[in-house]
Chains A and B, each alone.
Chain A
């Protein structure tokens, strides 16, 4: 039997650039800042990096979601990678990480830097309109053709359908959903790098404007400029490095139909995310009760409910009651959630903020937001494609 590739791979370094709305530094500068800091964090020299990967690579799209290619990053870092990858499809933001895991396990690379850079705050300053609608009177095509002609210009409209269906099926309410934004903000208040640090109350949440019912402004993440970088290393090369290695204990991945406008199920769950969760738990002896903190994708707050259930951390239909009041997902709760503030309060670093925060917690660098003795962290990414990872410290 072929050994599971992730058992050979560890995260050995992690770092973020400045995160700002907007940053005065270019996307490429932010990328270099994060990558160089992550490499130094691992205790490696730039010359020891032999692989580089990113999601999604560079595109002509002007919204700042894909501003840097891995080739550009390699050049600015001064490395000559043996292995390089830009992954724009598949299991979402974690795809380059999973591909780096397999490259390392196969011996194609020994130390890979994986980065994710966004420059959406700067892009928004230049064009107020949604990027979907920029570019004149051209018609929409592909996935967007099914929704944009009906005014559903933002993904918030699509995922509002999931939130409303969940409310209707399970009797969930706004206060239960709002507890996610309120708790995330409380955590962000303890994270010096978070974008929004002023605490909010449930009343503030309920008074905020509705964008697409039942989702409100505070249910939506915040555009930022910033970069996150991770160093992944072969286990054999990790032991002597600067940080205790964080083992990639298990990974789970799945694709669904949302990229093509196809919806599985009845809008009350993300069936593909459940497949990712099942894959993850099939590759480890750890069980959900052993998780010390959960960094769950929150591009919109509703994703937290859907992912908590997809990962088997909470039974289906019960995530709404689990987040209610916030005590169970707070720092002292049974499942501390999005301990750095998540994307709702720390900024849309596109899942990489969640991975970075898992590393921060496992390396006990969380300061006032540290979960005491955290050993096992679960991370999930994505709303259209799905990736999940279980990280473990010895």
Chain B
């Protein structure tokens, strides 16, 4: 269980509901081709407003990770892996997530793929090691 779910806000709701059809979506600029996350009302690279959510592969690599051992809430299950995943589509395109694997499998560079977990109206993009 997520300790708290994200509020679905106008610019970000697509990200949290994207998993409804099993696909991860990231904001993409139709003019310059840049992906950006977190999303913004315009492209931070070229200024274009023709930005829209587009499906991505859902694949990436762990850029960094940490094994959290502190139960910040009484019902929080620990340990768990909190990680930044660099998506395959673009260098420096990061999403935060939990690695759904035994903690000892976490390592920098680990290939991972998205695996959604639904809670209420939110599909949290979790990641698991890519099948070898």
**Which of A's residues lie within 8 Å of B, judged by CB?**
129-130, 133, 137-141, 145-154, 156-157, 160-165, 168, 209-215, 260-267
Contact = CB atoms under 8 A, between A and B. Distances in A.
26 contacts: A137-B4, A138-B4, A140-B6, A141-B6, A141-B7, A141-B9, A145-B12, A148-B4, A149-B4, A149-B6, A150-B96, A152-B68, A157-B66, A161-B64, A161-B83, A161-B84, A164-B65, A211-B70, A212-B70, A212-B82, A260-B38, A263-B84, A264-B92, A266-B63, A266-B92, A267-B63
A152 B83 CA distance: 9
Contacts of A139: 4-7
A299 to B, nearest CB: 16
B109 to A, nearest CB: 8
A146 B3 CA distance: 12
Contacts of A151: 2-3, 68, 72, 76, 80, 82, 98
Contacts of A264: 92
Q: Top 10 closest A-B pairs, CB basis?
A: A160-B66, A145-B6, A165-B64, A139-B7, A153-B72, A161-B64, A149-B2, A141-B7, A213-B67, A168-B108
Contacts of A260: 38
Contacts of B70: 154, 156, 211-212
Contact of B5 (A140, A209, A265): A140
Contacts of A140: 4-7
Contacts of B7: 139-141, 145
B38 A146 contact: yes
Contacts of A137: 4
Contacts of B84: 161, 263, 267
A212 B72 CA distance: 11
A213 B82 CA distance: 10
Interface in B49-97: 63-70, 72-73, 76, 80, 82-84, 92, 94, 96-97
Nearest to A135: B4
A211 to B, nearest CB: 5
B67 A133 contact: no
B124 interface: yes
A133 B66 contact: no
A22 to B, nearest CB: 21
Nearest to A137: B4
A152 B65 contact: no
Interface in B2-38: 2-7, 9, 12, 37-38
Interface residues of B, number: 33
Nearest to B83: A161
B122 interface: yes
Contacts of B37: 262
Contact of A164 (B5, B66, B122): B66
Nearest to B2: A149
A209 B69 contact: yes
B34 to A, nearest CB: 13
A210 B67 contact: yes
B7 to A, nearest CB: 4
B89 to A, nearest CB: 16
Contacts of B67: 210, 212-213
B20 to A, nearest CB: 16
Contacts of B82: 147, 150-152, 157, 160-161, 212
A133 B75 CA distance: 13
Nearest to B12: A145
B69 A165 contact: no
Nearest to A139: B7
Contacts of B122: 149
A215 B3 CA distance: 21
A162 B69 CA distance: 17
Given A138-B4, A161-B82, A133 B72 contact: yes
Contact of A212 (B2, B5, B66, B97): B66
Q: Which of B64, B70, B96 has the most CB of A within 10 A?
A: B64
A213 B69 contact: yes
A133 B6 contact: no
Contacts of A210: 67, 69
Nearest to A140: B4
Contacts of B5: 139-140, 149
Contacts of B2: 148-151
Contacts of A162: 64
Contacts of A149: 2-6, 122, 124
B3 A153 contact: yes
B97 A267 contact: no
B64 to A, nearest CB: 4
A156 B98 CA distance: 16
A87 to B, nearest CB: 24
A137 B1 CA distance: 13
